[in-house]
Structure formats: C-alpha cells, structure tokens
Amino acid sequence: MQDFSHSGVAILVVAVVQTSIVLSFLLLTSGRDPGIVPRNAHPPEPEDEPGSSSDWSGSMTPKLRLPRTKDLTINGVVVKVKYCDTCMLYRPPRCSHCSICNNCVERFDHHCPWVGQCIGRRNYPHFFGFVLSTTLLCFFVFSMCALRIKRLMDGHPPLTVWRALQKSPASGFLMAYTFLASWFVGGLTVFHLYLMSTNQTTYENFRYRYEKRINPFNEGMLRNVWKILCSAIPSSKVNFRAKVPKEVAGFGSFSYHKTTGVNMDTMDLKREKYNCDMRHDLQWMAKAADNVEDIHGFPSKFKESIEGSKSKLEDPSSEDFSKSFEHEYHIAKNSAAQPRHGRQSGNWHPSPELLSFGPGPQGLGQ
C-alpha cells in the first residue's frame, strides 16, 4: 500500500478476487457429482444369441454368461463398452469404474487426491477452471512479489538482492512457494489444454487408447474445447436425497428385508416343496438299489436304510416309478456326458456303472 500508493489497492483487490475464484472452483469440483452412473439392482438379462457363451453349472439348462464387451459404432468407428460386475451394467462409452470412489463415472478422467473427488463429465470444466485459476494466481503473486523486491533494490539507498529479501522476507517466501507451485499447476494446465484440444481424457491418454487408431470423439481443436468447457452440464442421474429402497441397488444380489411380518404361507410352500423333492429322490434311490442288488450283489442294508427313509415320506398309495426313472436316467446320462469346467480327462462318455441303471437289456428298464 505504501510502495505502490493507489495501485496497491488494485493489487490487493485482484489478489483477493483471484483467491476467491480459486476456492469457488475447488468447492464446485469436490462437491459436485462427477457423473456417477446409477447401479442396477440386478444384472441385465443375457442375450440368447448364436455363439454366445454359456456357463454349465450342473443344472438341467445351462446359464447364459453375459458377454464381457459389446461393440458400438460412434462416428463410423467401432468402440467397445465393458460390463461392470460391481455396478451390474454395461458402461457407457468413455465411462470407467473408479476403484477409490467405487462408482462408474461418465467420461472418467482421473481421481484427483488433491480435491478428493473423481473428475468426470459433470465437474471437468470446474476442475480445469480450478487448475487454470490457481496457475494465474501463482503467476500474479510471484510477479507482484518480484516487483516489490525490485523497487526495494532501486530505492534510496539502493539495496542488493539479499538485503531486499531481508527487508521483505514475506516476498521472498511467496516467490519461492509460487515458483514451485507454478511448475505443478502450470504443467497440469498445459497438459489438460492438450487433452481438450484432442478430446482425450487422462485415463485414455495414459492407456494409449488412440495411439494407433482414430479417436472417434475428436471433432477439431476449437470445437473440442468449446464442447468440453462451454456445453451445458447434464443433470445428475443420482438422487442423493431419495429414500433408500428395500432392495439396495449397487450391492449385487444382496438385499435387506424387514425381519418382522414374515409370510408364513411362503414358508409352508417351501417346506412342502422340499418334502416332495426328498420323497422323489428317495423313491428313485430305492428303485436303483433293487436293481444294483440283483446285478452286483449290492448290500441289502443300504437298501433297507433307503426303504426306511422312503416310508417316512412316501404316501400310502402306490405309484409307478418307471416313467420317472427313465426321465432321471436320461438327465443323468446327459449330465455325465456334458464337459465340466476345468476337467482334464479326455473321456467324455458315461461310465458302465451309470449305464447299467438305464432302460435296456442290462438296465432296470428290462
């Protein structure tokens, strides 16, 4: 104020306003939703297409496995989108899952530890404004402090550099601090100017996504910068004030339910179904034991144990098990012939012991 008279007020006002702009951009960057993609409560339905992979888990029908990637055509270029196991969705183009925030973020750039937030589609303009304004503030403070030291050196009596720094140590400290900070934020500003001019993200650039192929999102330098910085920011897809539903999206197949008011009818139906399944299995095992005893001298004690268990669940009325057993035989035969995951043996045929249970000259159906 004393050295620059009236211009000292302007210097002070510019420094305060510039600092306020830096802090405002910092709050907008760290407090705004970066573009989180809401999670699905359940995985999408698998597409039953020719050539799609299947996961055989021993059940009667194989389970279709979701393809890990899908192809999309953007501006004539094929772009692959990946499936996210955590969010149970196919990520939109340029979307990635942040391992720190544990969310899929649209146009994911990087996770910035300095602001404690992911940088994505909805807060990237504010992040660049924060970096650029910080760089300009560093340049401004360094210039004003250097001008202050210069005026001290040109005063009466003239002083050397070290004498001037001793007379104004705050200027020397701020010059050293802003000089070091300018290399960091200044280099970051130049790097993001390059990314915007080529319409890339930090994540894509570090992974060399477009090193040997065309960038389908590049529309020219000026148009890229205008589209990134000046286009309207889309509204958030997540309602952070909404009530949590009973089935929480984002926790896979886990869901929580109220422990009170349990439906007893549902429990009775499940218990009845379990008893029917047990009765059917025991009847099949008893029939198989009869045949094995006749052919291979199967121990009668095992048969008696099965018969005793069967009598506890079996209805008094007699049944014909021949059709049921033939159906079970065909299922067992197909299951034995089906290759298992990780199987190393080269023999895919059912064993003679298993075939002996089937209908025919040597089986039970005779």
CA–CA distance, 309 with 307 (Å, rounded to integer): 5
Phi, psi of 62 (to 5 degrees): -70, 150
Tokens 């008011």 locate to: 261
CA–CA distance, 208 with 202 (Å, rounded to integer): 10
> Catalytic positions, please?
112
Checking 239-248 for CB contacts under 8 A at 24+ apart, the result is 240/33, 245/41, 247/41, 248/41
Question: In whole angstroms, how far apart are CA 358 and each of 201, 296, 302?
Answer: 63, 15, 20
| Partner residues linked to 119 by β-bridges | 110
Helix (H, G, I), strand (E, B) or coil at 21: helix
Residues 6+ apart with CB under 8 A from 47: 64, 67
Which two tokens mark 26? 């910092």
Cα 237–Cα 80–Cα 227 angle in degrees, nearest 5: 55
Tokens 């953007």 locate to: 74
CA–CA distance, 1 with 273 (Å, rounded to integer): 89
Which two tokens mark 73? 């055509």
